DNA sequence: TTTTTTCTCCGTCTCAAGACGGAGGAAGCT
DNA sequence: AGCTTCCTCCGTCTTGAGACGGAGAAAAAA
C-alpha cells in the first residue's frame, strides 16, 4: 500500500482527487490538509510516502511547506499539482525539492501514474513546465534582475510602481543624483532602453508582487 | 430533483464537485463538460436547471459560454465557481448573466446551498467578490481606460510594451506629433503623470494580455 | 592588508517627453 | 445643415531622463 496525503485549500479539489484515489487498491489516502502548516503536521503524524501538494494556498504557500517537509522526511515524494506554470511558481518549487510537477488539468489516470512513478523514483514533469525548464537552462539559468544589487532592486521596485526620480529619492532617503546612477545601472543590467521598459519588466517578472488571488 | 451540470476543464475538480453532489438526494448531476463548447451542447441536450461553471478554461472562456447558454436557455441558473476574483473576471461574468459567483475555496455545504438558492431565485455572491462590486459601484462604475478611444487604446498598448514615441509612430503609421497628442490625452484620461505610470496601469489592468495560463 | 563591490554624490550635456494652443478633415449624430 | 467626436499634424517651450566620466567612503572578499 502506498500512503498518500492530499494538500489543497480547495475542498472540492481534495475530494475530487481522493474520490478516485480510493478506487485504487494499492493506494491509501492517509489524510488531507488545507494549508501548509496542516500539511507539515499531517506528514509528521502519518508519514506518507507521497504528498500531492497545491502551491497556491491561502496561508503562506506550498513551497515553504515542501521545504519544511523534506527537512524532516527526506524520502517523502512531493508531487506538485497546481493550476499555474509560470516561472515564479515552478522554479522555487523545484528548488524546494518537489519531486514531480503536474497541472490540475491532469486526468485521474495521470495522477495515479505519477504516484506510482514517484514511489518507483521516477519524476513526472508536465510537458509545458518541462519546456520552460529547458528554456531556462538554455538561456540564462536565472533572470537578468538576479544580478541587481539590493539597492538597485529597491529602486527597480519604485520604478515598477511608476515613481519618478524625485519620488524615489524621497522614498529611499538618497539624493536624486544617486537615484539616477542606480537607474542607469539598472537599465544596462536589464538591457532595456528606459525606465518605462524597466517598469514593464518589473511588473511582468515578479519583481512587483500583485495581489491577484 | 434539481438537474445540475458541471463545467470545468480540470477533471479532478469535476469529480470533486460531483462526488458530493451525488450524495444529495434532491440533486441529479445530468452531465459534465470540460470546455465552453461542450457546456453549450450539454445544456441544450440535458436542459439542467443549474450549471456550475468554471471561468478559466483551455478553449475560450466560460464567459462566452455563459452568454451563449443564456441566449438559448434564459431560465438556466449559472453559478460561477472559479479561483479568481479580479475585476477582469468578475464583471464580465456578471454582465454575461451569471447568477451566482463563488470561489473554489467554497465548501461542499456552500455549493449545495448555492444550488438550492439558485433554484429558489436567490443569488449567492462570495463576500470578497461582493466587496469589489461595492467598490466598483461606489467609485466609478467602470475602469478609467474605458473612455479611451480606439486609437488611444492602441497607443496605450504600445506604451505598455515599453515603446517610445518614435517606435509607436512607426508601429501605427502616424507622425510623432500625433503620438504625442494621443499620449497626452491618455495621461490626462487615466489621471497619471507620465508614460511609465501609464505602462504600469496597462500591465496591471488587463489592457495588455499576458500569457499566464 | 589589499582588492573588489556597493552605495553615495557631483557636474555636464543631449534629447525625448510632455504641456499648451491651434487647426484641418472625416465620420456620425441631431 | 449644424454639432460633436475623433484622428491627424504643426510649432514652441520647459523639464526630467539618461549617458558619461569622475570620486570618496564603507563593507565585504581575497
pLDDT average per 10 residues of sequence, chain A (213 residues) = 92 87 91 91 94 81 86 90 74 80 86 92 81 58 65 87 89 88 86 90 75 47
Q: How far is CA A163 from the centre of its chain?
A: 28
Q: Give the pLDDT score at B83.
A: 80
Mean pLDDT across B106-111: 88
What is the rounded CA–CA span in Å between residue B95 and residue B67?
Answer: 9
Q: Give the pLDDT score at A137.
A: 53
Count of all residues that appear for chain B in the document: 213
The contacts of residue B47 (CB under 8 Å, 6+ apart) are B3, B73, B76
- All domains in chain B, ordered by first residue: 2-140 (3.40.50.2300), 144-211 (1.10.10.10)
Q: How far is CA B136 from the centre of its chain?
A: 15
H helices of chain B, in order, are 11-21, 36-46, 62-72, 87-96, 108-119, 127-139, 150-160, 165-172, 176-190, 195-204
Distance B197 CA to C10 C1' (A): 29
The answer to whether the Cβ–Cβ distance between A17 and B17 falls below 8 Å is no
Nucleotide at minimal C1' distance from the A196 CA: D17
- CB–CB contacts below 8 A, A to B: 124
B129-166 tens-digit pLDDT: 777 765 655 454 455 566 778 888 888 899 999 999 98
Q: Which residue has the cell 436542459?
A: B47
Beta bridge partners of A52: A6, A79
Looking at the complex, report in whole angstroms how far the Cα of residue B8 sits from the nearest Cα belonging to chain A.
Answer: 9
Q: Binning pLDDT at 50, 70 and 90, where does residue B172 land?
A: confident
Q: How far is CA B175 from the centre of its chain?
A: 37
What is the rounded CA–CA span in Å between residue A193 and residue B85?
Answer: 35
Q: Could you tell me which of A200, A155, A160 has the C-alpha nearest to residue A174? A: A155
Q: Is the CB of A149 under 7 A from strand D?
A: no
Please say if the pLDDT value at position B91 is more than 80.
no
Looking at the complex, report in whole angstroms how far the Cα of residue B190 sits from the nearest Cα belonging to chain A.
Answer: 13
The answer to whether the Cβ–Cβ distance between B84 and A200 falls below 8 Å is no
Amino acid at each position: 500500500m502506498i500512503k498518500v496525503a492530499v494538500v489543497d485549500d480547495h475542498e472540492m479539489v481534495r475530494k475530487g482527487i481522493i474520490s478516485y484515489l480510493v478506487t485504487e487498491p494499492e493506494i491509501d489516502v492517509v489524510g488531507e490538509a488545507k494549508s501548509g502548516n496542516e500539511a507539515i503536521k499531517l506528514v509528521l503524524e502519518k508519514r506518507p510516502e507521497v504528498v500531492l501538494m497545491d502551491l497556491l494556498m491561502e496561508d503562506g504557500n506550498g513551497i515553504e511547506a515542501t521545504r519544511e517537509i523534506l527537512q524532516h522526511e527526506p524520502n517523502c515524494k512531493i508531487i506538485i499539482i497546481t493550476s499555474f506554470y509560470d516561472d515564479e511558481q515552478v522554479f522555487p518549487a523545484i528548488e524546494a525539492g518537489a519531486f514531480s510537477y503536474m497541472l490540475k488539468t491532469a486526468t485521474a489516470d495521470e495522477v495515479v501514474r505519477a504516484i506510482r512513478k514517484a514511489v518507483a523514483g521516477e519524476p513526472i514533469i508536465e510537458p509545458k513546465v518541462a519546456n520552460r525548464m529547458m528554456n531556462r537552462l538554455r538561456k540564462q539559468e536565472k533572470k537578468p534582475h538576479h544580478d541587481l544589487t539590493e539597492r538597485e532592486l529597491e529602486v527597480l521596485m519604485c520604478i515598477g510602481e511608476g515613481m519618478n526620480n524625485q519620488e524615489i529619492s524621497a522614498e529611499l532617503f538618497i539624493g536624486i543624483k544617486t537615484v539616477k546612477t542606480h537607474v542607469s545601472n539598472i537599465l544596462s543590467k536589464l538591457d532595456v532602453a528606459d525606465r518605462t521598459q524597466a517598469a514593464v519588466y518589473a511588473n511582468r517578472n515578479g519583481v512587483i508582487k500583485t495581489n491577484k488571488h
